[in-house]
Amino acid sequence: MTQRRFPEAELAAQPEEEDLFDYYYDKQGSAPGFINIKADATPTEIVLIDYNEANATRVPLATPEACIPFLDTESVSWVDVLGLGSKDVLLRLGDVFELHPLLLEDVVNVPQRPKIEDYEDHLVIILQMVLLKEEETGFWIEQVSFILGKHYLLTVQEEPQRDCFGPVRDRIRKNKGIIRKQKADYLAYTLLDAIIDGFFPVLENYGERIEELEDEVVTNPTRQTIQKIYQIRRELLALRRSIWPQREAINILIRDGSDLISPDVRIYLRDCYDHTVQVIDMVETYRELASGLMDVYLSSVGNKMNEIMKFLTIVSSIFIPLTFIAGIYGMNFNTEKSPWNMPELEWYWGYPACLAAMLVTAGGLVYFFWRRGWFENFSTIKKN
């Protein structure tokens, strides 16, 4: 395969990398095809897996040029690029695989919207891979780029430490199934299917979290509950943004096709499309449940507030007549001036009679409210 260097004028016109560390997209005025290497990007590693029906070899490559002898053979060569931190290595990969500068820009400057681009001698597939975090809630979203040739598949990943391709590597190594009998297009389908299937464990985790939140919202809604609901809604929105364009991309592979994808593999892609639709349905269902949790939360908080106001109203209703009685006998009219000026102030048992009247009034009101059933939900308020 012939090598092609990028035009030196374009490279010279590009701004310095240090100025763009904080940008996901091109800085205004930057040259087309500019590669933006992030400050925290992992150094690039290259691993080659070359296989046919009889043999399979895994070789770490020191340089991109080391894979050239494998690219024009009849065996399938999977060039797995891990990490986007080495600009020189990535540019040399572009030379080896004759990648257009704009294509290399889409591969390196992440994130990009999932899409399909058909070039003359290779097919480009850009997808989003979702991985569940093991030690905490949430997930990672990483971009994975496929460059499919006749006898090779180049994959470019953001991080070398994690991906969902382990089972595929084991199938190649142990010669399980038909993968080593197929060509590079079947390998691309297998990896794409692994990416789509990686959404299911993440969604199962969200299903469990939503079930826990349902119980919490009904029994004991707090400020932390509303924060959890908002967090889940934001994360589900991120999942939706990742999976929706991928359905469109897979549909393009099935509908429009490419000379690099055989009709047999296109049939397998239909199953992958069905899985994508299933993931989308699950995401939409969980988003609706999360929105419903917000309504239930507001209803629960409103009911709780109503019960509290009901309790305070009952307490106020009991003390209003007591305050009325105490207020009347607290005016201290002089009974010597007129017989109408509170004669009860001269009674021998006036004070105990006043207290007794208050107790009878309060007890009567409590009994009346109890008979009306107004004390039924106060145990729930006490627990909360």
Q: pLDDT digit string (tens) for 118-132?
A: 887 899 999 999 988
Q: How far apart are CA 28 and CA 224, in angstroms?
A: 41
How far, in Å, CA of 88 to CA of 5, rounded?
A: 12
42 DSSP β-pair partners = none
Q: Token pair for residue 49?
A: 């897996």
Q: What is the pLDDT of residue 20?
A: 31
The Cβ of residue 95 has, within 10 Å, a number of other Cβ atoms equal to: 17
Superfamily of domain 1-180: CorA soluble domain-like (3.30.460.20)
20, 28 Cβ separation under 8 angstroms: no
pLDDT tens profile 265-316? 999 999 999 999 999 999 999 999 988 888 888 877 777 777 778 777 877 8
pTM, rounded to two decimals: 0.74
DSSP 100-150: -HHHHHHHHS-----EEEE-SS-EEEEEEEEEE-SSSSSEEEEEEEEEE-S
Q: How do the domains of the chain map onto residue ranges?
A: 1-180, 303-383
The pLDDT value recorded for residue 384 is 47
pLDDT at 22: 38
Count CB atoms within 10 A of the CB of residue 358: 17
Could you say which residues of the chain have pLDDT below 70? 1-30, 135-136, 374-384
Closest CA to 51 of 170, 144, 141, 145: 170
- Which residues sit opposite 139 in a β-bridge? 132
C-alpha pair distances (Å), 152 with each of 22, 106, 156, 172: 34, 20, 13, 15
3-state DSSP assignment of residue 259: coil
Cα–Cα distance measured from residue 258 to residue 383, given in angstroms and rounded to the nearest whole number: 64
What span, in angstroms and rounded, lies between the C-alpha atoms of 273 and 296? 35
Counting runs of H as helices and runs of E as strands, what totals does the chain give?
Answer: 11, 7
Q: What was the pLDDT predicted at 361?
A: 85
pLDDT for res 328: 73
175 residue type, one letter: N
Rounded CA gap, 290 and 96, in Å? 48
Tens of pLDDT along 86-118? 899 999 999 999 998 888 988 988 888 899 998
Whole-number Å distance between alpha carbons of 188 and 197: 14
Reduced to 3 states (helix: H, G, I; strand: E, B; else coil), residue 41 is coil
Look at residue 29 in the predicted model and tell me its pLDDT: 62
